[in-house]
Each structure stands twice: as structure tokens, then as C-alpha cells.
Structure 1
Amino acid sequence: MSKTIAVIDYGMGNLRSVSKAIEHVAGADARVLVTDDPVLIQQADRVVFPGQGAARDCMAAISSHHLNQAVLEAAKNKPFLGICMGMQVLMSFSEENQGTPLMELFPGQVRHFPESRDAEGKRLKIPQMGWNQVIQAKAHPLWEGIEDQTRFYFVHSYYVDPEEPDLVAGTTDYGISFTSVIARDNLFATQFHPEKSADAGLRLLANFINWKP
């Protein structure tokens, strides 16, 4: 049976690499749409919400494309994958730009990394840019075939700090232990970029395509 996967386009995200990675794992029976049309997003079988950039710019772009309601409805009602900023904007509020209200799907803050050092005393660079381990905080179908503490690719200066502990599906250490994956019901979202994370990232995307929450 054919599946339609909508990749939300609000003008801020590496959409080509995301869509190509999804096409690669989804197979010939899937249709991948890169779209900013709320109707097509509503009609899709599954939704991917990528993003990058500053929180205030992202929220402004989502609003200018009239996507607020479409994103929230998809996040509540169908298999939904948030990536990077597509995870952060689901929280209540970001410290970025001297404070930015977000979409408020989940209670929690988006915080800037504090200055810190690694085990050898070297100052950690901000943004975190590169490969890091994800510790799986709970079992989930999207972790199938992916070993605990597998490394994924990150690029970010801010991290989510959710108020509800049961939302956390993965954590990562970068000076502090922070939430790198959240999951609830039909929603799964990652701070890392699965489309840039080699075989493990492709496996996660394939698991998402086949997920039946």
C-alpha cells in the first residue's frame, strides 16, 4: 500500500538531504512530498518536521507559511518525526534571542549550552558539531536494530530541557547530560540529524517509515 510522507518546508532546513534519505529507505511504494501546503500535510500518512537556524526566525517562518496548526495537528494525530530545530520548537520557550515563545506542545525550555570542559580539561566548543553517543532512555520501535550508545551527528548550540521526565527517549553528554531524543505516542523527535548519521540514521528513518504507533 502506498505511503505519503510529507517533509514540512517552512524555508529553514536541509530539506534535500532529508527527503533524499527518506526516499532511499522508503522504497518505491512511498511518495515523499516536500511541501508547505497545510492541506497536503494534513492528508499525508506521516510527517517529518526538519529545521535549523535561530528559534525566533524559525517561529516567524512557520507563521509566515501558515503552518502552526498543521504542525500541531500532525504532531498529535499521525506518525511524526521532528529533527533538530523541528524538535526544539515543540517546547514552550527558548532562551535564544533573549527569549522566544515556541509552539508549546510540551512544557519545557530550550537552553544554551553552558561553558564546560571535557575529561582532559579542554574547553568544549559551542556549537556542538560532530558525532556523539545517544544513550537510549527507554525502549522504542524507532530504536530497533540500533545499539545503545550509537553515535549520531549533531550541530547545535541549544538543547531541550523538558519538564516531563517520561518524554525523554535518549540523552547525550556534552559537558552536561542533555535530552537528545523525545518520544510520546505517535511522536518521535531528535536533536541529531539522522539524514547525516550514516547507517544508524538511515535505520532510524526506515524504522519511522514502518512504525505503526
Structure 2
Amino acid sequence: MTASEAVRPQRRVGTFTLGAVLVAAGCGMLASLLWPSFEPGWLLNASPLILVALGVETLLSARSGGKVKYDWLGMILCFLLVGAAMVFYAAAWAYENGEFINVRNCSRCADETSFRMDYEFFNGFDSHTLRLEAGDALVGRIDTRNGWLEVEISDEDGNTLLEGAPLNGDQRVEVPKTGDYTILVHGRKTSGKFTFARVPAELPEEALSAETEETA
């Protein structure tokens, strides 16, 4: 063993991974400030790489013949890194699958007769409730450019009239009884637009004839 090897200080396990995480987080924050269109969500999605880097560092240190120091401070550092990775993973999962609306460049219109959205990016859930009469029809159009969109239409009793609508195309639901009908949309990293509107039931021929005579 040479004199230089004898005096070489040992490095605690986890310090390299900690440095890499700090560099990546700082670069991501800087990019989000300099480029507003930058999507920082991919940093959360990359959080499992913390565990990968820590595991690689541990394996390489074992191979290098004990040049890495294992003490209680090193163990605490590893524990903090593993905990941070789990927290970031949970945040990434909630970001990707949470029941909230996450949209960009979206125009949304929901009134007494229709529910419409036009979006550049839509990830999450949204809903609107319409009051419909028996004999009405609820017609819709879905135009999806990427990702996918599902639509569920149910009445106030929880009965489903439409579920798992296709990504694109026309939809039509006949309204069997008067009540409140909820349109639930679930977007998964999709861009496009959709519209659902109420089409009132036609008046009976007798009432239509009587109304025509009164108008004349």
C-alpha cells in the first residue's frame, strides 16, 4: 500500500447519490424558471432513479475494497435518500393518477344545456350535471389527438347509461326519465376536445298542431 492510498479519506456511502440528486433538482428548477413550457413532472417520474443510483453506488463501493465509509451518519443519509425517493414516487403517482383536473390551454363551457372542453393537455377527472327531461337525447362528439379520454354518463340513481366511450366519434344517449344526469370525463395525458349537448324531445304532433294554429 502506498502512502497516498493510506491517507486517502474514505467517502460516506450515499454522498455521490445525494450530490447527483441536488444537481438534477437544481437543473430542473432552473429550467422551469427559464422555460415556462418546461414540464417539471418528469423529474418526479424519474424519482426511482434515486434508488438505482444509491444501489449502484453501494455495489461499486463494495467492489472497490472498502473505500466507502459505513457509519451511522452514512446510514442516516441512505435512509433520507430512500425516504425522499418514496415521497417523490408517491407525488408522481398522485400527479399521474390523482382525481383532479390538470389541464393546459383549456377552454371549458358548462351550462344548463351543454358541457364542452377544448384542451391542449388534459390529465385527470372533470364532470358536469345536466337536468334532462324524459324523451330528451344527450348527443356528443369526441375528438382526441393523443392520449385517451373516457366518458361515463349516469343518472341520479347511479345507473350508468354510457361507460367507456371510444376515443373518438359521435355519441348519443336517450334519456329514459326526467332527472339529473352527470357527465364524468377521465383524460389521460390527452389533447383534443369534446362536446355533449341536450337535444330536447320533440313536441307531440297534437301539441305542435295546436301551437301552429294559435300562432296563425
Asked if Structure 1 and Structure 2 have the same fold, meaning a TM-score greater than 0.5 normalized by the shorter chain, the answer is no
TM-score (norm 1): 0.22
Which one has a larger percent helix, Structure 1 or Structure 2? 2
Whose radius of gyration is greater, 1 or 2?
2
